[in-house]
Structure 1
Amino acid sequence: MNILFANYGQSDNNSAYHIAGFAGGLAARGHDVCVAVAKSVPDGKFESVDGFRMASHRTALKTGVSFADGRPADVLHVWTPRETMRQFAMSHAAAWGHAALLVHLEDNEEAIFERFTGCSLEKACTLDQPWPKGLIHPVHFKPFLQSAKGVTMVHRCLEPLVPVGLPRQEIVPVMNFRFFASGPQNQNLRSELGLAPTTRVVVFNGNDHAAAAMDIRQLYEAVDTLIERGMDVAFVRTGHVLPANYDGLHFRPGHRCIELGYVERSSIPDIMRLADVVVQPGDGDYFNAHRLPAKVPEYLTMGKPLIMGETNIGRELAMADAALVLPGMSPAHMAEAIASLLNAPDEAAAMAARGREFARSRFSGEVVIPLLESFYRSCIPAAVSRPPAKSCELRH
């Protein structure tokens, strides 16, 4: 098959890492695969990466993707129904054609829209104004979803958001078990961060954004509670931080609260190996109920004791006894859970080992890639008509 993925962002976000896992796995099975990204690749260039090619959105639209057999894409798989992806799909269909459009869901996009804009989707549909292209368009996104031949979901918890009657398939991320390998701590890194040998570490990897702002703030409060009780604990965090989200919070950067900001992907495993406990904050609200936080499969693959709420993949983990899953994720609940794992290291290690086995059964390429390949084949029409190739720019 000729397969074109389109990522709403660049080549270094979590979605891009997921796409790369799928693209590499499909290429290894003999498919011709290209990934279109925003700006990461110079215009006019196609870069080879792990058996597939990568190009900018502009290049994919202006020059088209030349597949080896001379045919257009059998599948255009766009990442999320956000407006930038809707416009890309429209432009690609008009200029180059594709047999089947598939849309990937990884979040509750309606919840993100409402938290980012402060406007309900219902009200937004009545307003004649431009909206950020990095969000769904309140009027156009549902017809766009319904126009797809199928929908993939990062986890089955997103199924209620799929339009009735559309084929759908859960496609969880493919984890690189060599990259996210458990192992000894990097003592040089520990020393650089000023962590004493006796200090226990809670690690969180993730960026601040409007949809999860309160969840992450409450994790800060939970760790601060433990420190106030006299526990020798430090909080190490990666990702972009919006300081305004923490106004009025006593627990701010210092020797117990270490904010590393953006770090290179290659540094993440060493940072995660410092963790005695990892936490995915957030209760089962309308945002968290329909997502799979990208860091959760990574935590599990690393074999780290995980605490999370009884939402999205949490229910699966609870059944497998592969994480400490809480019915409520208030600061007090998180603090108690962290303390319980730190005070029972043998039980925490056994749970973490079950988490790693869970990851192997759920997030390995041998399991996921054949499912995706089969779903593609089921979505491609038996006979398609393709328009003649021509150049284009983005259509609005």
Structure 2
Amino acid sequence: MSKPDAPTGIRLGPEQRLAWLRLIRSENVGPVTFRALINRFGSAQAALEALPSLAQRGGSTRSVRVASAEAAEAEMAQAERLGARFVCVGEPDYPAALRAADAPPPVLAIMGDASVLNRPTVAVVGARNASLAGIKFARHIAAELGRAGFVVVSGVARGIDAAAHDASLETGTIGVFAGGLDRPYPRENRPLMRRIVDDGGCLVSEMPFGWEPRAIDFPRRNRVVAGLSLGLLVVEAASRSGSLISARLAAEMGRLVFAVPGSPLDPRAGGTNQLLKDGSLLVTEASDMIEALRPMDGRLEHRPGLEVEEPEEVAMAATATDDEREGIIEALGPTPVAIDDLIEHTGAAPGAVHLTLLELDLAGRLERHSGGRVSLLF
């Protein structure tokens, strides 16, 4: 495998990094909203100052919570105590593959050797209650991928995840948390997580320090797992497994999706067999993946839209009149619609539509869906 290009980018200054952390930790600010705010206001600090008025125009009946400088500084201190640090999208250490995904996390907490994040990476995921055969295969495939030059990424869960991490410790592995880096889950995998860091891999999370993982946080973690990888392999998965969410997210990002066939009599193979029926690539040995992944050569095209170097002045996007705002909100409902369709239906300027959606988002009244669709929360 050819050596990947050296990471490029510009590092944020201390004040910029603090403002970025404050902005992403503020109420109702997710990756899509963060990017929209930076693109509109030109800097995280200017966006922080605008949050209250934007949320109010979006219909919020109370003051939006803006993360304080003291809270962000305390989180940075906590990270330093644990030997972790924050990397922002566009900086040299930020993983190029994840940056190329739609709406990447603006800020990642990283513990360990960040250089593995910019090597060719493959995700290996599967059932927590994996069979012995599934665990054995996951270990074998992860070890073979590592020897072929790939870093293995997974979600540090029980079963297949743990087996894949353990087998790739010597060649490089990345564990993605659903909670804060100081809240490892599950507890029995803590020794494995320590070994990942000690053996030259790394642990990453987009969630705040102190955040206990909830059920709704695991799909978000799965999105990072998929975004970090060139391709994603599902070893075992039941028909309703969370690993299928990872596979769907990977496919939406344009990553290759692989699956291992299993016995029709084993419910842990129901999801993987369905993936194969739906067109995923069949894997019975590591060469099936290596041959498909090699042409990608560890590089993904960068999608512009959010840069680390914040411009000093940014031309303000169009504002929305009260009539335009009312028409846009009236056109929205509980059924997701494409933003382009919303622009065409209302006849409003694209800038006015995007601004209104931003206001609704910050007011907690908007839900964003895959494919750039949006719906109104009632």
TM-score (norm 1): 0.30
Q: Which has the larger share of strand? A: 1
Provide the TM-score with structure 2 as the length reference.
Answer: 0.31
